[in-house]
Structure 1
């Protein structure tokens, strides 16, 4: 009975932890020019600062999901929160790039613990509408990512780039307090045996990192040896994981659920479009248009507000018309948005930048909620946990790809010509999404009906 009374506070504790990973991945985007200047970094160095966070998150999110099953969700959640406290205090004191990378790495490990442990807590303690709560947390996380540049831009005015780490502390204080007081103690599950897939973890880490090295090296040309190694590691990882009883990444889940795999693919591509724009525009506004970080943050509001506004609108639209038309229109809007990137020049007015960002925000707002809800029509309740974890991994992969595109496109500097180079790549991504979206929504009514009957 006590747990039922405290359900809202438990959800709040989990939600506060959930927003920290996406918030910290995007707040730093406005700080990149200042960090680049202070440490005298290249665009490739900056890309590694961003991408390393996602690589670590992609590795540790499913890993910590397993650890939370073994050692208890509350313990893992508190441990993650404490790691973020440590990194948020020490990162601003970094004397050089390697130390800052290390602190960001600790932060990534800490924030990676919060979503899988939080989902486990929701599934164990919340009695009503579990899937809706979990889906809302995922949307909440993505929405908070969109607000990251605005929050970062406002804060940097008062204390430079280190402030973006200190902003975590009040959120952490509340989250830790609510977790300690209201989340029930972990109950040991002695009946279930758990096994960590050490080789799978190693192979996943190697192939993700190798692909990142290859992608960031494209500015000097195609590195065929690195490409071959990346392909071999990917195949070995797949072949090994499909034979495991308790795999690190459940590749058999994709094999048995083709539509689900394609939805994850669409989600990755959608994330590429959204994050590439989110990553590049704060720096473009500051470095090329010579606006302040505060102004950059305000302009970036156009992206986040329209993405947020479209979430409830798209939900109602989908309820009335189904998934096909809303998601198809969203990819067309995404294509329009990336085509508009060609109009972004070194003399563009900020209002026009806001219009371009608004189009991208509307597109992403529909896709984010639409794809997540579509995903849950194809899976059973018992598979919702693994689906939620894989959805987060898909987002990290999309972020890694977007970081690679950013690093290659702007390797010679932030300017309108390189913005056009990025736009060409993103147009190709948007074009690929059109037939993909038509395919994943082809059987929506049949799957929805099946899930309703189940």
Structure 2
């Protein structure tokens, strides 16, 4: 556990004992910045493409840019929080979110808008590690475990925002155009800055033992991901050299992380733990399908089904409702095998139903597809998180949890590449069906992997 300096323990209103509840509001508000920016864009890709006369293959970089920045930025900022404390990183990150939102509103080109999304990815990476540090600090100060209710509130608030984001984005676009989904970051950032400045404790954290940032590891990781995604977004024989870059940079990254004392990503957590590796694989498969649907289906609703952004957002309400309901009904149950099996089966049903969708499909059928995906979203993420806590080495829980989030981001990047490939000439019905076949295969693999993993039977049983 990170040692908390005296500055964190002094002058707090709840020194008599118990979690300082003044921290809850800035923690939750900061943590929703990433899911709200991820999900609102789902219904904005088509209007943005029309505004800048760009194809879906080009607007897909709005998704890729944010998740590339987040995949690298999350663990980097986590290390900085451990070194300098949560307050400066929280305030800097949320301020960057406001600046990025303003840049997006004023963006004169798609390239500048992509830069805005990259900055959003970096800025929104600060609140989660800052919140986790504060939870550890409060546990140390009070001599008690961090309250599970606070962790649940963080998890549920993120999931709720993620599933209602497309509907909210559609309403904002209907009210004032796609610029509003970037403009909303300005008041959110201001609220985080006010709450953070007033409520987050002052003082710096204790430096990490043997501290120092693994800058080389960060650069190799970023280079590997960027080269791989550049190839996937536009696969062509003349770009074969990018795969060579991926192989070389990836190999150097693995060697570096296994040999350095303070790695950027602790790959040691993978050694000798097949159940944990399987959980990471399920996370990647589940999030690939989830994000590909979240970004791909609304585009087709607007291009292939000729709906407006507001109507497309409202049509995703069944997804939001079922995801929230399933989370509320099953969130307290520790067993994971049944959740993952039902979640994978729901994904299979949703992808199979998407194969029947066409320009004349009735609204109830389109809403049913969203409901199937909502069931999967409500089950898979929390189940994989519960599995990780049961399977990971307690001494490496932080590294293991960070890798779980990284595999989720890799799923988002895979989804972005899939949408760019199948919607290269627009979000057509043929492209939707090809995308559905790919996601159907991923969902079948998820179900097969879940049923074959006997270790899951023990998770949550004791």
TM-score bin (small chain)? over 0.9
Matched, 1:364 2:377: yes
Q: Which residue of 2 aligns with 1:162?
A: 179
2:53 counterpart residue number: 40
1:120 matched to 2:133: yes
> Which has the higher mean CA deviation after the structures are superposed, 188-197 or 426-435?
188-197
Q: CA deviation at 1:358?
A: 0.2
CA distance in 2, matches of 1:361, 1:328: 15
CA offsets per residue over residues 157-196 of structure 1, 9 Å max, x none?
1211110112223333332222222222234415734111
Among residues 128, 139, 144, which one is paired with 2:161 in the alignment? 144
For residues 71 and 299 of structure 2, the distance between their equivalents in structure 1, rounded to whole angstroms, comes to: 25
Find the partner of 1:172 among 182, 186, 189: 189
Q: Which residue of 1 aligns with 2:226?
A: 209
Match of residue 259 from structure 1 = 275
Deviation for aligned residue 1:91: 1.4
Which position in structure 1 is the counterpart of 2:340? 327
Return 86-95 or 226-235, whichever deviates more: 226-235
Preserved contact between residue 314 and residue 370 of structure 1 (Cα < 8 Å):
no
RMSD: 2.1
Partners of 2:31 and 2:296 lie apart in 1 by: 24
The alpha-carbon distance between structure 1 residues 125 and 34, as it changes in their structure 2 partners (threshold 3 A), is same
Residue matched to 1:2: 13
In the alignment, the residues of structure 2 paired with residue 386 and residue 68 of structure 1 have an alpha-carbon distance, to the nearest angstrom, of: 15
Distance, in Å, in 2 between the alignment partners of 1:243 and 1:136 is 38
Superposition map of 1:2-401 within 5 A: 2-3=13-14, 7-126=20-139, 127-130=144-147, 133-134=150-151, 136-190=153-207, 192-218=209-235, 220=236, 223-316=239-332, 318-319=333-334, 322-379=335-392, 381-401=394-414
- 1:223/1:9 Cα in 2 relative to 1: closer, same or farther (>3 Å)? same
Structure 1 unaligned regions, length at least 5:
none
Higher helix fraction (1 or 2): 1
Going from structure 1 to structure 2, the CA distance change for 1:139 and 1:268 (only over 3 Å counts) comes to: farther
Cα distance in 1 between the residues matched to 2:437 and 2:282: 19
CA distance, structure 2, for counterparts of residue 191 and residue 328 of structure 1:
40
Q: Which consecutive residues of structure 2, in runs of 5 or more, have no partner in the other structure?
A: 1-11
Distance in structure 2 (CA, Å) of the matches to 1:103 and 1:324 = 40
Question: More displaced, 125-134 or 106-115?
Answer: 125-134
- Most deviating of 403-412 and 116-125: 116-125
Counterpart Cα distance in 1 of 2:208 and 2:300: 55
Q: How many residues align?
A: 445
Cα distance between partner residues in 2 of 1:221 and 1:438: 38
Does the aligned pair in 2 maintain the 1:83–1:106 contact within 8 Å?
A: yes
1:272 CA displacement: 0.6
Q: Distance in 2 between matches of 1:241 and 1:269?
A: 25
The match for 2:419 is 406
> How many angstroms apart in 1 are the aligned matches of 2:279 and 2:363?
35
